[in-house]
Amino acid sequence: MGEKQWVVGTDIGGTFTDVICINMETGEQRLGKVASTPPTFFDGVINGLKRAGISGDEVLSFRHGATVSTNAILERKGVQTALITTEGFRDVLGGGRAERISAFELDWDPPEIIIPRRNVMPVRERVGPYGDVLTEINEEDVLLAARKCKKRGIESIAVVYMDSFMNPVHELRTREILAKELPDVDVTLSHEVLPQMLEFERTCTTVLNAYISPILKNYLGGLAKRLKEDWGYDGPLLITTSGGGVIGMDEAVKFPAKTFHSSPVSGAVGMAGYIGSLANFDNVIAFETGGTTNNVSMIYEGSPAITHEWKILWNVPCCLPSVDTVYIGSGGGSISWVDNGGILNVGPQSMGAVPGPACYGQGGDEATNTDSQIVLGRIDPEYFLGGEMKVDGDLSFKAVQEKVGDHYGWSVQEAAANTYMVALSALMMAMRIQTVSRGWDPREFAIVPYGGGGALYACDLAREIGSTTVVVPPLPGYASAFGAIRVDVKHEFTTPIHQTEEELNFDELNKEIQNLVDKSHAILAKEGIEEDMASVERFVDVKYFSQSRFFTVDLPDGELKSLDGIIKNFMDDMEAEYGYSLPEGYAPVEVVNLRVVAKGEIIKPDLPEIEKGGKLATKATRQVWFKDHDFLEADIYERGELPPGAEFSGPAIIEQPDTTTVMPPGTHCTVDKYGNLVIKVDQ
């Protein structure tokens, strides 16, 4: 005991808390899946760690992901928050960008605004677009806002002034005043969270940060304390981010908005990306199927596709760098229904976990995707969650027959098969849009399915989009926890410039670049990253003046003396993305932001190699429906019994407690030394 050998990854979901521990010396792997314990989620973490049987003093590094922040937004369980903003711009947050979700639907409403208008408090001040102070700050207004906050029980304040990213003097002064007047209230300044143009996006991101700041502070503080007191761990805590990395606890407490949707993201980057690389694929479609949604993210040339305008909800953008994840509203619990024109639809309405699919026998009588999979023989009702959950397959047959089959005069099998095809077509479109619209060829991607249901669709999807390989990881149900231990420390910082070529002063620009680089090294050092493990990549956001979207391109090495290298990169990138570029010199080029990505490489355990098992053997055969084939006799394998090196072909089903893999005819599986199912799909 006392030997620090374990790396621990934990992830808290709405239902389960997952723990995965890997011993760096021996490769031993221990798991703990326990019920989540809202509202004191850290209890669940401790329970999981105890279940895994590891104690804190044996732990080398601890990585943690939590949906606490995302859920606080979705369930509107943040704290009482106020917004202090420039007088005259009170409705920037509520008005958003004035768009609707849908072309003709007037009955739709956007999600309720996080801060009601009464708690948006104006202050007379104005900084101009070039950073000059146009109107001095009126400190009386700040004091009035402080009095209002006090009387109204405000616990956290977002301060967002127009153009503050060009000159934060008024935001800083406001914090000084608030610190004196309201010492116990959290204050988030917009230029610190997101020093970028676009007032609505910056306001919303800042408000999200403020709204959950005290919650995450309490939660992570509580977790650190419990880990130390009840588990004996006093090393650093690394927290997963939406950008596909981990950051130190201090940074996470200061900028909790960086942790949104980090669970699916770590699964995509740390699990799917890694598993793909084991099968020699740098390009991976990470495909997660849960109860209500499918999540699709892309890994291209080893890096995740990042967006800077991720929306946590409609009109609720968080513009910190985030792995671009598309959520498709059809998961295991999604309902099949027939529309007015006679077309079969699947989702987005879902039965969720309660009452759940018809087969759960909890009163749900709608035909869900899971029910169709049972009718098609793909999921064995006797083996639901490895046999731990009792489900009634007859109820699936009944629901699919009544809700779909009877309508069209189809047999129950036909009804289920068509439901499957509709669900498949929606997934296919999503994957296509994710690849083709970025100019990527889907044939160069491997699909890595995870979550409960991904492997039911993956082989058919691969064939539809022209991909040749599917890799099913050994523990698809632990993707986020496992992902948390496979990602590096990652930060992204920007400095706004907003100058055209002829307005630029290269000395100042070089100084700004150096400042960013220094800041990056400082924070990595603070988080314990050794110098030789640290790297800082330098980028520049550039566009034609008056274009609305910018390109992020590499900053050429060395001191900048002209924009020539940047413009070349800009043209090349534009050519690659749009298939053409505008002629050089056609319009002035504008440098929008400087951007750095700071990475600290940290220890990452590899998947343990599985011990040589026995001989490959089927546990049964049964009739299973396959696309383009109808019902065929399929071999059924138990995942845990598959020896490394085993090879077999579809039609086959591989069962394990947390997922089922369907291999249609024309697919060939090799079990690699880690236990991954590497499935080649004939085209």
**Should residue 104 be labelled a site residue for other proteins when binding is judged by CB under 8 A?**
yes
Q: How far apart are CA 309 and CA 315, in angstroms?
A: 11
**Should residue 228 be labelled a site residue for other proteins when binding is judged by CB under 8 A?**
no
Please, what is the minimum distance in Å from the beta carbon of residue 474 to other proteins?
A: 30
**Should residue 278 be labelled a site residue for other proteins when binding is judged by CB under 8 A?**
no
Please, what is the minimum distance in Å from the beta carbon of residue 163 to other proteins?
A: 6
Please, what is the minimum distance in Å from the beta carbon of residue 322 to other proteins?
A: 13
Residue choice 11, 155, 171, 366 for contact with other proteins (CB under 8 A):
366
Q: How far apart are CA 121 and CA 393, in angstroms?
A: 57
**How would you classify the pairing of strands 59-66 and 6-12?**
parallel
* Residues 375-404 contacting other proteins, CB under 8 A: 403
Q: How far apart are CA 323 and CA 320, in angstroms?
A: 10
**Based on CB atoms, which residue is closest to other proteins, 54 or 145?**
145
Q: How far apart are CA 64 and CA 10, in angstroms?
A: 5
In contact, 526 and 248? CB cutoff 8 Å? yes
> Sign of dihedral through CA atoms 332, 333, 336, 340?
negative
Q: Where are the beta strands (DSSP E) in 501-550?
A: 534-544
**Based on CB atoms, which residue is closest to other proteins, 422 or 472?**
422
Compute how many residues bind other proteins; rule: CB under 8 A: 86
Q: Which two tokens stand for residue 629?
A: 């084939």
Residue choice 60, 74, 428, 504 for contact with other proteins (CB under 8 A):
428
Q: Where are the beta strands (DSSP E) in 375-509?
A: 446-451, 469-472, 489-500
Work out the burial of residue 613: count CB atoms within 10 Å of its CB; fewer than 13 is exposed, 13-18 middle, 19 or more buried: middle
**How would you classify the pairing of strands 126-127 and 133-135?**
antiparallel
* Residues 512-551 contacting other proteins, CB under 8 A: 544-549
In contact, 58 and 4? CB cutoff 8 Å? yes
Q: Which DSSP string do the residues of 48-107 spell out, in sequence order? A: HHHHHT--GGGEEEEEEEESHHHHHHHTT-S--EEEEEETT-TTHHHHTT---SSSS-TT
Q: How far apart are CA 411 and CA 669, in angstroms?
A: 32
**Based on CB atoms, which residue is closest to other proteins, 1 or 106?**
106
In contact, 160 and 202? CB cutoff 8 Å? yes
**Should residue 200 be labelled a site residue for other proteins when binding is judged by CB under 8 A?**
yes
**Based on CB atoms, which residue is closest to other proteins, 29 or 190?**
190
**Based on CB atoms, which residue is closest to other proteins, 249 or 415?**
415
**Should residue 112 be labelled a site residue for other proteins when binding is judged by CB under 8 A?**
no
**Should residue 103 be labelled a site residue for other proteins when binding is judged by CB under 8 A?**
yes
Q: Which two tokens stand for residue 572?
A: 């090349």
**Based on CB atoms, which residue is closest to other proteins, 60 or 198?**
198
**Based on CB atoms, which residue is closest to other proteins, 408 or 506?**
408
**Should residue 117 be labelled a site residue for other proteins when binding is judged by CB under 8 A?**
yes
**Based on CB atoms, which residue is closest to other proteins, 169 or 428?**
428
Q: How far apart are CA 551 and CA 573, in angstroms?
A: 8
**Should residue 617 be labelled a site residue for other proteins when binding is judged by CB under 8 A?**
no
* Residues 288-317 contacting other proteins, CB under 8 A: 314
Stretch that binds other proteins, among 96-104, 386-394, 634-642, 671-679 (CB under 8 A): 96-104
**Should residue 109 be labelled a site residue for other proteins when binding is judged by CB under 8 A?**
yes
* Residues 42-81 contacting other proteins, CB under 8 A: none
Q: Which two tokens stand for residue 136?
A: 């001095």
Please, what is the minimum distance in Å from the beta carbon of residue 361 to other proteins?
A: 17
Q: How far apart are CA 553 and CA 568, in angstroms?
A: 10
* Residues 569-598 contacting other proteins, CB under 8 A: 578-580, 582, 586-588
Residue choice 51, 74, 110, 139 for contact with other proteins (CB under 8 A):
110
Stretch that binds other proteins, among 66-74, 195-203, 214-222, 482-490 (CB under 8 A): 195-203
Residue choice 106, 184, 532, 683 for contact with other proteins (CB under 8 A):
106
Q: How far apart are CA 479 and CA 487, in angstroms?
A: 12
SS3 525: helix
**Based on CB atoms, which residue is closest to other proteins, 141 or 250?**
141
**Based on CB atoms, which residue is closest to other proteins, 15 or 437?**
437
Nearest to 492 by CA among 376, 359, 320: 320
**How would you classify the pairing of strands 133-135 and 156-160?**
unpaired
**Should residue 328 be labelled a site residue for other proteins when binding is judged by CB under 8 A?**
yes
**Should residue 116 be labelled a site residue for other proteins when binding is judged by CB under 8 A?**
yes
Binding mask 144-183 for other proteins (x = CB under 8 A): x--xx--xx---------xx--------------------
* Residues 464-503 contacting other proteins, CB under 8 A: 498, 500
For the chain, how big is the Rg over CA atoms in Å? 26
Binding mask 430-469 for other proteins (x = CB under 8 A): x--xx--x--------------------------------
In contact, 661 and 480? CB cutoff 8 Å? no
**Based on CB atoms, which residue is closest to other proteins, 161 or 281?**
161
In contact, 17 and 48? CB cutoff 8 Å? yes
**Should residue 506 be labelled a site residue for other proteins when binding is judged by CB under 8 A?**
no
Q: How far apart are CA 281 and CA 269, in angstroms?
A: 13
Residue choice 2, 183, 342, 614 for contact with other proteins (CB under 8 A):
342
**Based on CB atoms, which residue is closest to other proteins, 535 or 581?**
581
Span between the terminal Cα atoms of the chain, in Å: 53
Please, what is the minimum distance in Å from the beta carbon of residue 496 to other proteins?
A: 10
